[in-house]
Structure 1
Amino acid sequence: MSKEILYVVDSVSNEKDVDRSVIFGALEAALAMATRKDHDEDIDVRVAINRDTGEYDSFRVWTVVEADELEEPAREITLEEAHKTDPNLQIGDTIEEELESVSFGRISAQTAKQVIIQKVREAERAKVVDMYEDRIGEVLSGIVKRVERGHVFIDVGAGVEAIVPREHAIPRENIKNGDRLKGLLIEVNTLNRGPILTLSRRDPKFMIELFKIEVPEISQGFLEIKGAARDPGQRAKIAVFSHDKKLDPIGACVGMRGSRVMSVANELGGERIDIVLWDENPAQFIINAMAPAEIESIVVDEEKNTIDVAVDESQLSQAIGRGGQNVRLASELTGWEINVLTTGEAEEKNEAEAMAYVKEFEEKLDVDEDLAVLLVQEGFTSIEEIAYVDRSELLAIDGFDEDLVDELRGRSRDALLTQLIAKEEQLEDNKPSQDLLDLALVDDKLAYRLADKGIRTRDDLADLATDELMALIDMDESAASELIMQAREHWFE
């Protein structure tokens, strides 16, 4: 029988290209299963096969547990009983007793086959995981095996199956069995079910990787892709930058007669791709990203991370795009929230903002309208700017002398101090109590957010229902429920 075991191990290992240890493990599991069936109790069995001779021994196994945790007497033993055998044993250790081994021939052929197949599959899957887990972010190519409910299954070679889930497929793309298809590897499934590899054809990084394949100047370091945004299957924008002043980045990505960009577009189901010149100046970058619309003026608000773009009325629909597509993609590409206005709307908005600044200066600096208007015309939009700008800038304004400048700076700083005191008083009124801060699940940031909503004490929090807390603070139901229950603990002590 020992020779038969070695024969089975060697033949299956060679046929399936799986390590011999995996087959030995499968046979040990099958022998252990057969041994358990010979006993009325549900015992735990370990079988050890000698890897050189094929001979094997069987052992009954007990796990050492606390007396009050004994649930399976056939598999567990209390620490007190275990110490009668070995005083050094601890919780979690095992005790073994040798059993009479069953004959290898008594293993059910079906049982052995199932165990071996399962172990072989696990080993094969582990090999594929090891092969691909460091390749996330690469483009893989394969042949479409089948399409089920929008999910595309691809053979990427060596019997490895990948899936393009419906949510990662390009909408309305016509894919048939036998087609060659590419996708970006985004996940390696380590669980023992489902396809191992997950690919995406919607991810903007997929388009970036396709350009890297088609444009050698990128891999050579002459060109750099700064970002991409996609409306999969319809339109995309990609920002490029050249590290070589002699190299036209847009021309290099387009290729001779558009060959390079067309190759990428065809792989993306005919997606229309705008190649945008990246610029470190946000305003210029946005002007480039909004192409082909022509921009009349642009106003940047760095504090709010927004940009107002003014266009001629005739350019409005082109700037916005169908369903807001052009401005949405430009926003995603640049990282700025872009507001598109007509020239007239922009002028009205600028005028309204200017009047708001004028009113603020009149009220907080106690100056007349003419002086407030002059400050706005000179580019001042906040009290802080007047208080801390270099004196020379204020003195450069026509009609301003040193006395006026010092007076304005003094009033500005007084106004800022008044604002600060009012803010501190408001914070003090909304300060969370110590018992709220002491809750383990409440950090300082959450405590002040709760206090700002009127929840300043532990009892205030405990009085809330889960849905009430979720309406005040953005958190999921389980987290809100756990937080409230912790706040109520002292009620039951």
Structure 2
Amino acid sequence: MMATAVSANRLELLQIADAVAREKSIDRDIVLEAMEEAIQKAARSRYGVENEIRAQIDKKTGDIRLFRVIQVVEEVEEPATQISLEEARLDKEDAEIGDFLASPLPPMDFGRIAAQTAKQVIVQKVRDAERERQYNEFKDKVGEVITGVVKRVEYGNVIVDLGRAEAVMRRDQVIPREHIRNNERIRGIIYDVRRENRGPQIFMSRTKPDYMAALFAQEVPEIYDNVIEILSVARDPGSRAKIAVNANDASIDPVGACVGMRGSRVQAVVNELQGEKIDIIQWNPDVASFIVNALAPAIVTKVVMDEERNRVEVVVPDDNLSLAIGRRGQNVRLASQLTGWTIDIMTEAQESERRQEEFMAMSNRFIEALDVDDTLAHLLVAEGFTEVEEVAYVAAEELLGVEGFEEELVSELQRRATDYLERANREADDKRRELGVSDELLDVEGLNPRMLVALGEEEVKTLEDFAYCAADELTSKEDGILRSFSLSEEDASQMIMSARMALGWLDEADLAEGDATKEGGDAEGEEAVEAETATEEAAEEAVSKE
């Protein structure tokens, strides 16, 4: 009878391990390891916590064996877990330092407290294994659309049952004004999976642009087959969205394919997104054309791009202004997100008024500097002259090409322009000295006294101060120190390099290497940045040595 009972208990142990492994979808060996650890912990309370005890469960028969493990050492410090080499060789002749000796222990009966402790260990180990399984299962599903059942809604956050795990859809990831009920099926995209103490946290979203792109991929076979690409998505969740598509095959209309027969494909996505209006836009490699497409349905008459600031000014007819901006600025905001450019919208009347103001400002500059009448100043501006320097130093033939300009008039204009610049430079030089700007900066080719005044007012007063500047610090149209001097970023970089060479931070070889980086095609920008970074590092190293 006793043998039968023991056999039944052993068999039951393996059956329990199999049942837990199936229920929690984890490896049976992990459950058995948890049981072994639980038995070890209970055995330590029986035989003494100072002992190192190991338990083994036979995976075929369910037999439990207990061992006390001691290590062979030169000098015994912990008698409970260590043994000297001499004593070890009494039991095992070939024992060596570092070996472990295992001596069997008699089987033990679990008391109530020991059994409870063992249960806690097993439960914790199984829970940890289940969490690890969940994390490994979902970590590679980021970006996938998944369907679950709404378990509960807490303060706007939705807890979704995915079957073998739970996901959280935070209130800002739920489409506004969407009514979600318990036990209803809901779809979303997994956008993040994190390991946390309380278990893996799976985050779902219905508002991410990627979710809309994934829905289109499900509805449009050409997108799934990579014949059509979704290049950009911008959303105002629950209200309106814009999606830019392009076909890799010239014979396919990407917009028509996404709309589908009688709008069936796009309508399926709209229904899933609670009626969100979707504008499907043809992508264009020409940025100006792409921006015009993105602002649809508004009509655009003119586009002025500022690549340095990544801004674009768009001119629309007066009656299209509200359409281009959209309700609460929605249309222009989505177009800006879609294209990656900051878009400023103005009417034709506003643009005309601004051009007139700029025209008058430049004309007044010539009237004051050259002492000419309105007609002559307007004529210079109309011919494309914007600065007094252009009049002073341009070839006389260009001015003679202006209708009505004779040689005597051109000569007089250039003399007056030169006199004005010399006078302005003298006044600027006096102010430059008052500000304490070093004479060394005058030797940097391209810098004039008026520029030095602007630098001095921003506390750039020595050659070393100037050498530490970056090109965009000087030329940025928003806050560049020399923004009012029609200075290109390339010219500014050359000036900074000259200052660094004058200080000995660079030599001709470094400069030649920096110039070579500008001939690398698409890699030009990155290489130039690396060269400038290396230059700044060299400069800092030179200063530290001093």
Which residue identity lines up with residue 331 of structure 2 in the other structure? N
Q: 2:123 aligns with which of 117, 132, 137?
A: 117
Alignment of 1:79-478 (within 5 A): 103=108, 105-106=110-111, 108-157=114-163, 159-193=164-198, 196-356=201-361, 373=378, 376-378=381-383, 398=402, 416-418=446-448, 426-428=459-461
1:222 to partner: Cα distance: 2.3
**Cα RMSD (Å) of the superposition?**
4.9
Instruction: Judge which range, 183-192 or 3-12, deviates more.
Output: 3-12
Work out whether residues 42 and 118 of structure 2, in 8 Å CA contact, stay in contact via their aligned partners in 1.
no
Q: CA deviation at 1:207?
A: 0.6
Indicate the residue corresponding to 2:428 in structure 1.
Answer: none
Q: 1:2 to 1:378 in 2, by over 3 A?
A: farther
Q: Structure 1 CA distance, aligned partners of 2:186 and 2:259?
A: 22
Shift of 1:272: 0.8
Partner of 1:29: 37
Matches of 2:393 and 2:193, distance apart in 1:
55
Distance 1:202 1:123 in 2: 32
SS at match of 2:241: strand
* Greater alpha carbon shift after TM alignment, 170-179 vs 6-15: 6-15
Residues 9 and 20 in structure 1, CA contact (< 8 A), matched pair in contact too = no
Contact 2:17–2:32 (CA<8 Å) still a contact in 1?
A: no
Partner of 1:467: none
CA separation in 2, counterparts of 1:202 and 1:172? 12
Correspondent of 2:67 among 57, 71, 78: 57
SS of residue in 2 equivalent to 1:417? coil
d(CA) in 1 for partners of 2:81, 2:189: 49
Match of 1:455 in 2: none
Q: Within 1, Cα distance between the matches of 2:384 and 2:10? A: 89
Give, in angstroms, the shift of residue 166 of structure 1. 1.4
Q: Alpha-carbon deviations, 1:425-480, whole Å to 9, x = none?
A: 64355978xxxx9xxxxxx9xxxxxxx9xxxxxxxxxxxxxxxxxxxxxxxxxxxx
Q: Please list the CA deviations of residues 221-242 of structure 1 after superposition, one character each: whole Å capped at 9, or x if unmatched.
A: 3211110111111111111112
The Cα shift of 1:200 comes to 1.0
Deviation at 1:297, TM superposition (A): 2.4
- Output one character per residue of 1:302-346: Cα deviation in whole Å (capped at 9) or x when no partner: 222212222233222221111111111111111111112222212
Q: Following TM superposition, by how much is the alpha carbon of 1:98 offset from its aligned partner in structure 2, in angstroms?
A: 7.9
Among 50, 54, 61, the alignment partner of 1:47 is 54
CA pair 115-308 structure 1, distance change in 2 beyond 3 A: same
CA pair 204-27 structure 1, distance change in 2 beyond 3 A? same
Tell me the CA shift for residue 265 of structure 1: 1.1
Provide the secondary structure at the position in 1 that maps to 2:134. helix
Q: TM-score, normalised by structure 2?
A: 0.62
Q: Quote the Cα distance in structure 2 between the aligned partners of 1:197 and 1:421.
A: 58
3-state SS of the aligned residue for 1:137? coil
C-alpha distance after superposition, 1:380-438 (max 9, x if no partner): 6689999999x899689645999979x899989x9943166557764355978xxxx9x
Q: Which amino acid aligns with 1:127?
A: R
Is contact 1:43-1:60 (8 Å) kept? no
**In structure 1, C-alpha distance between the alignment counterparts of 2:393 and 2:50, rounded to whole Å:** 82
Structure 1 residues 195 and 134, CA gap change in structure 2 (3 angstroms): closer
Measured in 2, the distance between the counterparts of 1:205 and 1:34 equals: 52
- In structure 2, distance between residues paired with 1:75 and 1:428: 76
Shift of 1:294: 1.7
Q: Distance in 2 between matches of 1:101 and 1:15?
A: 28
Identity of aligned residues (%): 40
Question: 2 CA distance for matches of 1:94 and 1:274?
Answer: 73
1:199 deviates by 0.9
**Pairwise CA distance, 1:30:** 2.0
Q: CA deviation at 1:169?
A: 1.2
> Aligned residues, how many?
412
Cα separation, partners in 2 of 1:173 and 1:102, compared to 1, 3 Å? farther
Secondary structure of 2:460's counterpart equals helix
215 and 12 in structure 1: CA distance in 2 versus 1, 3 angstrom threshold: same
Q: CA deviation at 1:99?
A: 10
1:286 Cα deviation from its structure 2 partner: 1.4
| SS of residue in 1 equivalent to 2:175 | coil
Larger C-alpha radius of gyration, 1 or 2? Answer: 2
Q: Give the SS at the match of 1:300.
A: strand
Say which is worse superposed, 230-239 or 294-303, in terms of deviation.
Answer: 294-303
Residues 192 and 202 of structure 1: is their aligned pair in 2 closer, same or farther, counting only changes over 3 Å? same
Cα deviation digits, residues 102-122 of structure 1 (max 9, x gap) = 725336443333322322222
- Counterpart of 1:457 in structure 2 is none
Is the Cα–Cα contact under 8 Å of residues 188 and 197 in structure 1 kept in the other structure?
A: yes
Runs of 5+ unmatched residues, structure 1: 62-72, 438-443, 445-451, 453-493
- 1:142 counterpart SS class: strand
Cα distance in structure 1, aligned partners of 2:201 and 2:183: 20
Alignment-mate amino acid for residue 105 of structure 1: F
Partner of 1:458: none
